[in-house]
Amino acid sequence: MLHSIASLLLVSAGLAAGQAAAPPTSFANLVGTWNSKANSTMTGPKFYDPVNEKFTEPDHTGISYSFSADGHYEEAYYRAIANPRDPKCPKGIIQWQHGSFTKEANGSLILKPIAVDGRQLYSDPCSYDHAIYTRYNTSELFERYEVLTDPYRQIPRLNLFKFDGSPMMPLYLAMSPPEMLPTTTLNPLTTSTAGSKPTAKAKRSLNNNVTDKRTVGQRRADYWWWFGVAMTATGGTLYFFF
């Protein structure tokens, strides 16, 4: 009898230890690269080149999030902002950042970017002659998330809910393992060699705004970018009203 009780106590202790050792904030089902429906905007080197400080414009607007098994994330945004009052003045935004994330005990996700690495390209053709390239740094809180099989497309779907509980557009699994740039700091503010002269890239990074070093040909391409943004924004406006 005493032997049986002792055995039960040992088993109970083992279960308790096992429960304590099990990760309460597992996010295995989150790992991968998730894209919005158009599957055009995707994280990784095809979207942002940190060496040359250059974005590659996707074919369609959209968003993408990548999560790694060791707690790193990356995000890519390409958005057109319609102007119903003045349709010829739409705005366009391309954003990229990466960093680390945690899943809290209540199921929420906290994304903390590497502040010096985030970048944004902002286009407002009615206010500026050229798109403005700056640093971008915004932490994010998602109240919760869910991964399920989309009933129509029959592929994994990620539903993210903003800090206030409102849903974002659905994201679909595009790649696993995720397509990501290196998870370490890519554009530090200072050089690592003491006494050496800062490079042109380092000089640019000392300013709050990243200097626009594009060629005349690249600046001419702004027109076509604005034209594409205008078409996207106009289509979105017509869809909204009709």
pLDDT for 210 beyond 50: no
- Which residues lie closer than 8 Å to 32 by C-beta, 6 or more apart? 66, 67, 156, 173, 174, 175, 176, 177, 178
What was the pLDDT predicted at 25? 52
Neighbours of 171 (CB within 10 A): 23
Comparing CA positions, the residue from 140, 64, 57 lying closest to residue 99 is 140
Tell me the two tokens of residue 217.
């040909």
Average pLDDT over residues 78-91: 85
pLDDT at 214 over 50: no
Q: In the Cβ-directed half-sphere of 135, how many Cα atoms lie within 13 Å? A: 18
pLDDT tens per residue, range 110-137: 999 999 999 999 998 888 888 899 999 9
Residue 95 has pLDDT above 50, yes or no: yes
- What's the confidence (pLDDT) of residue 211? 34
